[in-house]
Every structure is written in C-alpha cells, then in structure tokens.
Structure 1
Amino acid sequence: MRPGEDDTQDFDSNQTAPAGPAWLGPKASEDEHVTRSRAGKGLSLRAVLPNAITAAALCSGLTSILFAIGGHWEQSVFAMILAGILDMMDGRIARLLKAQSRFGAELDSLSDSASFGIAPALVLYIWSLEELPRFGWLAALAYAICCALRLARFNAQIDVEDQPHKSAGYLTGVPAPMGAGFAFMPMYLWLATGEQLFRDPWLVGPWVIAIAVLMVSNLATPSWKSVSPSGDFKLAFIALAGLLVGGLLIETWWTLVLIGVVYMGLIAWSVAGYSKVKRAKNASASTDGDAEITRPAERKPLAVDEVDEALSRPRDQ
C-alpha cells in the first residue's frame, strides 16, 4: 500500500478476504464465502441498507408476539414468515454491496436469536403450551436456549478451517429460520383443518423439544450449495418456485406444511449423502495409510568416513 492510501477501500469482487473477525457480516447462508473486508474500520455507509433490513427482520419477528397476545394467529405467522424472508435478503444485499461488517454479524446473530428463538417460543406458549404451565414453559425455554446455542456455535466456528459438514457442502443442524418454521407446523395444521388436536400441549410440547434438539444436533442438513439445481433442472426449478408462490397465495397453510415435509426429506437425504461422503473419505485415508506403511524405507546416505571404512574392510572369501 502506498503512503497515505486509504486502507478501507473496497476489495476486488473476486478476491476472498482472509479469515478473521474483521470480515464477518450478515450472510445469506452459513456456507457463504465472504468477499470483502473493511479490516475492522467500522460501519460503511453502504452497510446501512443490509443492516436496516436485519433490524426490520428483528421488528417483524418481535411483532409476531404482539399479534399472538391479541389472538391474531394468522398475522403472527405472517410476521414470522416476513422475518424469515428479510433474514435471507440482508445477507444477499450485503454481499452485493460488498458491505459486510463485524457490526452486521453481531446484529444478525442477535436478530436471529430474538426473531427465531425467543419469539416462536413465546408465540407457541401463548397459543398452546400455557395450558400446561410448567411443562409448556420448559419446552419453550428449551427451544429458545437451543436456538441461542446453535447461533453461538455457528459464530464460534466461523474461523475454524476443519468443518467436515461445510467442506462437504452441508450445514450442521437445522438453521434458526427453518427451526422456527418447523416449530410452527402444528399451528399450520390447526389453521388448515381447525382440529383442536394440533393445539394439544402434549403434542406441541414434545414437537418443540424435538425441533430444539435438531437445531443443536450434529446432523448434516441441506445448504443452498447442496440443493442447487444443475443446468438440466434450472427451468424446472423456476417453474416450481412460481407454483410455490401460487400455492402460498391460494392454500397458504397446506403449502407451508408441504414445505416442511419436503425439508424433512431433504434432511434425510443430506444425512445419507454425508454418510456416503464420509465413508469415501475414510476409505481414501485408509488406502493412503496402507501405501505409507508398505513403502520401502529409504537408505540413509553414508558419510565419507563410513565409505572409506567400508572400502578398507577386507572382503569375505
């Protein structure tokens, strides 16, 4: 860098910033590679937009609690869905504007913890679990705590190079936004059918605890990289996305249930795919180890004195 040159200038869009806390910021997905750094020089003007979207996601997630208190369950679910959409947007926009920052990373984690951890726990408690105050509150606490633990684990492993799931194109555990969507599955079914069975706290409580366990588990789960369509299926994927939006407008609750079922299938597919990758990696490591063992030992070169001594030694007749 020349003297007097500003060290906060933009990096080349194709240049990957070195690992470290300075480049952290809102990400569209956990497997995304960051391409810019401000070297810890604070928040740039262009970073205002993605961080404002993150704040909007936080407000939307918390507003779902207000709707739940008033008994407006549909609006509460819509507010949570809007929070998830905004959460996906902030990382994409930050990357597009090259506006990732440490401030954005911290705000994004706090927003996710409140919007997809605390808010769903309180909404589900008000909707169903309060009929069993002790068990229901413990289930809600378990969900909120596991969501916070998952986000803390993700932040702690950002700079870790050895991440087997990430290197294979998968995530570890169910992401927080998808965890919130999963937790609301009984409410989707209740809104779609009107059956009080789906509001039973003895059904909702164990379900919420199961989702909490999935969030902090070590299961391989799908990432955008692992489910991205190939060239032959991109047009079909576009058509499917259009049909999905149409389904959300016409049959909102059943479409959300379908999305949850499909995602469960993708989790099973990811677990099977990662197991296959792991077995292939172990077999390759075993082959390399055997080759290392059977490799003949190299002879140590003789020193000059040793050569002279060998030549002067009388040969056996």
Structure 2
Amino acid sequence: MRWLFSPFDPDPATPRVRRFRPVPVRILIPNLITLLALCIGLTAIRMAIEGRIELAIYAIVVAAALDGIDGRLARALKATSRFGAHLDSLADFVNFGVAPALLLYVWVLGDARSIGWLAALAFALSAALRLARFNAALDGPESPAFAQDYFVGVPAPAGALVVLLPVYLAQLGLPSPPFGAAFAIVFCLAVGLLMVSRIPTYSGKKASQSIAREWVAPLFVGAIIAVGLLVSYPWEVMSLVTIGYLMLIPFAYMRYHRLKAAHDAREAAGSEPEPAPVPEGEQF
C-alpha cells in the first residue's frame, strides 16, 4: 500500500498554476450596487410586514434609484456581463415585483382577502413576465435607432412606483375613495397590464448619454432642488411625478408610432429597385 500514499514534496521553484482568473474590481462594483439594492428591497418587505409603510416606500424608492445607477455604472466602467444582467433582473423582481405587492396587500388589499391577494399575485407575476421578456430581448435582433429611446411596456421600477400612487395619496391625508380596496385592486391590475403590454414608454437613455456644457450647472442645481423637494415633501412629489408619468404614456405612444411610420417609409423607399436608365435615343 506504500505506493498508494507515496510522499510527495513539490518543488517550491515550480510556479503554481492558477485555476481561476482574477476578477477586476471594476466588474464587482456594479454587482455590489445591485446586491445593495436587493438588500434594501428585502428590507422594504420587512418594513411592510411590520406595518411601517412609510419606511417600506422609502426603501423601494432608494432601490429604484440604485437600479438606475448600477446599469449606467457598468456601461461606464465597461463591466457589463451576462451575470450582472441576470442578477439585476432577479433583484428587480424582488424589489419591484414582490415588495410593492406585499406592501399593497398589508396596506389595503388584505381587506379584500383572497381577491386582494390575487391582485397582488397578478402584479408580481406581471413584473416577472416583463423582466423575462426584457432578458429574452437581449438576445434578439438589434432594434432601430429611434426605438432605443423607448421601453416596451412600463419598466419594473416605474411600475413599482406607479402602483403605490394610492398610498401616496393616502399619506397626503386625502379621503380614500369609496370601496378603497376595490379601487386599489383595479389600479394594481391596470399597472400590471401596462407592464406586460406592448405600449412604448419613454426610457430617456439617449437624453442621459451626453449633456451640453451650458446645461451642466443648471442640471446640478435642478438635481439639488429636486432632492430637497423629495425629502421635504415626499408624498406631494411622488404623487406629481407618478401622475405626470402616466400622462406621458399617450404622448410616448403617439410619438413612437410616428417615428415608426417614418422609419418604415424610408425603408420601403430604400428597398424599391431603381428604374433602369433610359437610352439616349428613347428619351422624350
């Protein structure tokens, strides 16, 4: 049996072969931000279960802000990866599908019992389907240039913030509409349908790629004012932003189809065969 367990003394001068390649830190940073957003989303679920609705909403808003940062940071650092894209989608499902649904159920949908729970399930499933469609589109053909400034349906972060509009209005002290649970159920289902629909909505990707120099200082001032207003008057600002976003959807729909018609017309004109040259003797 000695040959089975023969002593082996490796040569210290022999270089050790690395089994795994080192991962650059710049690739880890966007994923860490995504994980931080996921932790905040899970904390929002805890706050909702404990009945601390305001803190739960704050957590969802912060998670939405971080969700807007991680993707842009990954592209800026050239750290995009399939792992990061799938991790971001899983975090979005928890933060903007599960957390808002549970928050609404604890707040008012629970009054309708099973019907309210079905509405919460429908919203969470709509978020899952919307994110699955987004991931599938990553492997699809590249969209035209005009379509890159639009989302297909309401994105998950926007849907999560929009579906909480009844909570914002209640925090403002407005009287709840008759049959408050029924109104919340209908509104929750409507937002879920917007998420899985094919309605184009503004994405603002092109607007955020570059900014003219003369607009840099006003942008900083505007951002500071916006943050100050959000901190001082959170429910008023969230209500106005949500209503404004919903009012922009018809304009985005009309603008998208106008651009699509112009694009299709240019493609049709470019695909038509050019007429054969007429010989000089046959010209009129």
TM normalised by structure 2 equals: 0.81
Match of 1:118 in 2: 98
Residue 129 (structure 1) aligned to one of 103, 109, 118: 109
Match of 1:58 in 2: 38
Closer, same or farther: CA 100–244 of 1 in aligned 2, 3 Å? same
Residue 141 (structure 1) aligned to one of 113, 121, 132: 121
CA contact (8 A) 1:170 1:226 kept: no
Aligned equivalents of 1:198, 1:42: Cα separation in 2? 60
3-state SS of 2:205 partner: helix
Aligned equivalents of 1:221, 1:83: Cα separation in 2? 21
CA contact (8 A) 1:116 1:177 kept: yes
Question: Structure 1, unaligned stretches of length 5 or more?
Answer: 1-40, 299-317
Question: Structure 2, unaligned stretches of length 5 or more?
Answer: 1-20, 279-284
- In the alignment, does 2:224 pair up with 1:242? yes
Residue 284 (structure 1) aligned to one of 262, 266, 271: 266
The alignment-based identity, stated in percent, is: 39
CA contact (8 A) 1:150 1:216 kept: yes
- In the alignment, does 2:43 pair up with 1:77? no
Residue 270 (structure 1) aligned to one of 252, 263, 272: 252
CA contact (8 A) 1:128 1:199 kept: no
Aligned equivalents of 1:157, 1:57: Cα separation in 2? 24
Deviates more, 1:93-102 or 1:73-82: 93-102
How big is each residue's C-alpha offset from its partner over 1:165-195, in whole Å with a ceiling of 9 and x where there is no partner?
8645211111111110001111011111252
TM normalised by structure 1 equals: 0.73
CA contact (8 A) 2:146 2:259 kept: no
Match of 2:4 in 1: none
Match of 1:34 in 2: none
Residue 258 (structure 1) aligned to one of 235, 240, 255: 240
3-state SS of 1:295 partner: coil
How big is each residue's C-alpha offset from its partner over 1:288-310, in whole Å with a ceiling of 9 and x where there is no partner?
45x43x72499xxxxxxxxxxxx
Residue 152 (structure 1) aligned to one of 109, 125, 132: 132
Residue 156 (structure 2) aligned to one of 176, 189, 193: 176
How big is each residue's C-alpha offset from its partner over 1:183-230, in whole Å with a ceiling of 9 and x where there is no partner?
111101111125233881111111111111111111111112355597
Aligned equivalents of 1:136, 1:56: Cα separation in 2? 30
Residue 143 (structure 2) aligned to one of 153, 163, 166: 163
RMSD over equivalenced CA pairs, Å:
2.8
3-state SS of 1:221 partner: strand
Closer, same or farther: CA 230–266 of 1 in aligned 2, 3 Å? farther
Match of 2:138, as an amino acid? I
Aligned equivalents of 2:178, 2:249: Cα separation in 1? 23
Q: Which runs of 4+ in 1 moved over 6 A?
A: none
3-state SS of 2:151 partner: strand
Deviates more, 1:220-229 or 1:70-79: 220-229
- In the alignment, does 2:151 pair up with 1:185? no
In the TM superposition, residue 89 of structure 1 has moved relative to its aligned partner by 2.0
- In the alignment, does 2:29 pair up with 1:49? yes
Figure out how many residues of one structure are paired with residues of the other and give that number.
258
3-state SS of 1:171 partner: strand
CA contact (8 A) 1:189 1:198 kept: no
3-state SS of 1:193 partner: coil
CA contact (8 A) 1:187 1:198 kept: no
Match of 2:150, as an amino acid? Y
